[in-house]
Amino acid sequence: KQEVTQIPAALSVPEGENLVLNCSFTDSAIYNLQWFRQDPGKGLTSLLLIQSSQREQTSGRLNASLDKSSGRSTLYIAASQPGDSATYLCAVHSGTYKYIFGTGTRLKVLA
Amino acid sequence: DAGVTQSPTHLIKTRGQQVTLRCSPKSGHDTVSWYQQALGQGPQFIFQYYEEEERQRGNFPDRFSGHQFPNYSSELNVNALLLGDSALYLCASSPQGGEQFFGPGTRLTVL
């Protein structure tokens, strides 16, 4: 049974810092992994999708890496801004029809 | 393209009542998945519909049921509401086997 864990649960950093969010999963047989952003009370915004054959994806200040063998993915945010404050969720698609989500990392970037 | 839309945005019901939530998928998408997100948790998979049939179901009781229409839109029905059903209900659409795109969610409060 696939389980997804995100560490840390919460993070508070000053503006301008580079930071790393971690996601680990127990079953390496995944189809893809996706990082989402969620603002309070809102839906999910897709940030990056990494296919199982890929090692990383980049979009602007965001970079996501995937290491299937170790069951880990990281989301790197460069030069953080107060507007980056949100909850970040990773979700694993294991070839069944559903995503398995972690519980998220609540990020607060202080001005 | 309107993306994934959900209605209503917010809903307040009392215990024992029944509720219907609606989802219109992104243009070109034929698959709809429903997720429940309790406060402070990651989304949990409820079920997925494809070709008007339930294709996979998560660990939710039979009080949760759904439907998909020929135009691919979908409904989620919950009977005999419990306090614990209070959550954000998210709909995601995708082309078959493709990346899921999420709607803004419906916030259900059960009193």
Structure confidence by residue, pLDDT tens digits, B69-108: 999 999 999 999 999 999 999 999 988 777 889 999 999 9
Whole-angstrom distance, CA of residue B102 vs CA of residue B104: 7
CA distance A34 to chain B (A): 9
**Cβ of A103 and B42 within 8 Å?**
yes
- Give the pLDDT band (50/70/90) at residue A97: confident
Say how many CA atoms lie within 13 Å of B87 toward its Cβ: 21
Helix or strand (DSSP H, E) at B65: strand B64-68
A contact test, residue of B57, B99, B100, B106 with most A CBs within 10 A: B100
Say how many CA atoms lie within 13 Å of B17 toward its Cβ: 13
**Cβ of B55 and A97 within 8 Å?**
yes
- Give the pLDDT band (50/70/90) at residue A107: very high
> Which chain B residues have any C-beta within 8 angstroms of a chain A C-beta?
6, 31, 33, 35, 40-45, 48, 50, 55-56, 58, 88, 90, 92, 99-105, 107
Residue B88 one-letter amino acid:
L
